[in-house]
């Protein structure tokens, strides 16, 4: 290879990237798109994003900002009026009080919120308790911040909550934080208030952080909506990492936030000054309209997801070779276990795509404990959801005969 007229023979990248593979979901997505390009109808159960358009009033606010020339850098922590709107929403929805001036930073999606949080609190070698299975970037974000991910299996029959006995065993003097992600990706599990209180008590007892990934906080169909930050004494040790992506169908706008005690936000702002500098200006004006405006769009979208979730629940039980061990009370995911012998979840996922035109994600992409499962995202139109489940049922019948 020639770079600037010099021959480069050994191109190496940083060793810190060695444990970081390309996302498992990407492979399925690319293959599904290739099939589609060849003329096949593919049902996209692999994509973790709402299929709705962003509500019109949010788009109008962003367009207006562009027309008004609001196109320049904004403060590192986000527009003051946007932080104010977020503080108002956290108060109205969860009864939480955060100062928009000192306790909130806007981020490029919930994902950047997680990265900034880990970078803000972790010293080299600090351990972070994570769910297994979990959202893929969690362990990588911990590692990039110098930390050590400690994965704890979830209990499907307990709303996919941590096995707390295993958490207690795993806690060490190096443990710095426990991650809570309810509703949960990839299982759709929603923890009960008692379960949240148990993890909150553990954090208090050990003097460690609770990092709440609230990416799906508006997509709860059954179960608890409270935030541990509202429990007595927990506000100062809880870091809320939230997002507008799923709530307002704004995944491409890249708007999220951290709400936490001032020292954490201070650290995150110093990082942001050197990473993003500031977020997209007009996306922030759109976000402001979302947070401060009418919330019926949120209820309408969540209502439609709930309808599809009910369809998934009703149909999945009759599919041979699949077992739903836990209850998906939120987000837009179900995580069935494959009960067929002599076949891996990767092989089942491949078979479903190749032979039924249904894209799902092998559970192993979410961690070791995801092995033997696949993630089904019902963020697709209701009728496609039905067709996809019918196709899976047919394919699993054939597979059951092949595997026995
Ligand atoms: C659990 C969880 N957290 C955070 C995110 C990040 O979302 P975003 O960066 O779009 O806000 C996702 C995205 O799928 C997720 O599933």
- Model confidence pLDDT, tens digit, residues 222-241: 999 999 999 999 999 999 99
Residues of the chain with pLDDT under 70: 1-9
Q: In the prediction, which pLDDT does 184 show?
A: 98
Q: In the prediction, which pLDDT does 404 show?
A: 77
Task: Break the chain into its structural domains and give their ranges.
Answer: 21-50+297-403, 56-292
Measured in whole angstroms, how far is the alpha carbon of residue 225 from the centre of its chain?
A: 16
The residues pairing with 362 across neighbouring beta strands, listed in sequence order, are: 374
Polymer length in residues for the chain: 404
Q: In the prediction, which pLDDT does 7 show?
A: 59
Q: In the prediction, which pLDDT does 3 show?
A: 55
Q: In the prediction, which pLDDT does 11 show?
A: 80
DSSP for 337-368, please give it.
EE--SS--HHHHHHHHHHHH-EE-EEGGGG-G
Ligand 1-lining residues (CB < 6 angstroms): 48, 109-111, 135, 181, 185, 213, 215, 243, 245, 251, 256
Q: In the prediction, which pLDDT does 23 show?
A: 79
Confirm whether 21-50+297-403 and 56-292 share one CATH topology: no
Per CATH, the number for 21-50+297-403 is 3.90.1150.10
Ligand 1 pocket mutation, candidates 245, 280, 361, criterion most atoms within 8 A of CB: 245
CATH class of this structure's domain 56-292: alpha beta
Distance 15 CA to ligand 1 centre (A): 26
């Amino acid at each position: 290879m020639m770079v600037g007229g010099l021959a480069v023979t050994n191109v190496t990248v940083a060793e810190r990237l060695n444990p970081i593979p390309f996302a498992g979901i990407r492979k399925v997505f690319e293959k599904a798109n290739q099939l589609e390009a060849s003329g096949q109808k593919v049902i996209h159960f692999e994509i973790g994003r709402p299929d709705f358009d962003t509500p019109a009033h949010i788009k109008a606010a962003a367009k207006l900002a562009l027309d008004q020339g609001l196109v320049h850098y904004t403060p590192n922590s986000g527009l003051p009026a946007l932080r104010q709107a977020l503080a108002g929403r956290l108060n109205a929805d969860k009864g939480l009080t955060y100062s928009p001036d000192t306790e909130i930073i806007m981020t490029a999606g919930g994902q950047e919120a997680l990265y900034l949080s880990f970078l803000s609190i972790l010293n080299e070698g600090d351990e972070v308790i994570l769910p297994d299975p979990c959202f893929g970037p969690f362990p990588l974000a911990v590692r990039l911040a110098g930390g050590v991910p400690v994965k704890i299996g979830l209990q499907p029959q307990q709303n996919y909550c941590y096995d707390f006995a295993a958490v207690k065993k795993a806690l060490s003097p190096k443990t710095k934080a426990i991650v809570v992600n309810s509703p949960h990706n990839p299982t759709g599990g929603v923890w009960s208030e008692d379960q949240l209180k148990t993890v909150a008590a553990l954090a208090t007892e050990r003097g460690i952080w609770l990092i709440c990934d609230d990416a799906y906080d508006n997509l709860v169909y059954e179960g608890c909506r409270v935030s541990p930050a509202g429990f007595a004494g927990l506000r100062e040790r809880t870091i809320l990492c939230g997002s507008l992506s799923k709530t307002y169908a704004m995944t491409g706008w890249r708007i999220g936030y951290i709400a936490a005690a001032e020292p954490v936000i201070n650290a995150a702002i110093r990082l942001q000054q050197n990473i993003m500098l500031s977020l997209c200006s007009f996306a922030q004006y759109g976000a402001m309209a979302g947070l401060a405006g009418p919330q019926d769009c949120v209820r309408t979208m969540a209502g439609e997801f709930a309808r599809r979730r009910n369809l998934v629940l009703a149909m999945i039980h009759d599919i041979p070779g699949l077992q739903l061990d836990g209850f998906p009370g939120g987000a837009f995911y179900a995580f069935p276990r494959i009960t067929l012998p002599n076949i891996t979840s990767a092989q089942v996922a491949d078979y479903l795509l190749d032979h039924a035109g249904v894209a799902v994600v092998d559970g192993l992409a979410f961690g070791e404990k995801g092995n033997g499962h696949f993630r089904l995202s019902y963020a697709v139109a209701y009728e496609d959801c039905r067709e996809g489940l019918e196709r899976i049922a047919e394919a699993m019948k054939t597979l059951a005969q092949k595997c026995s």
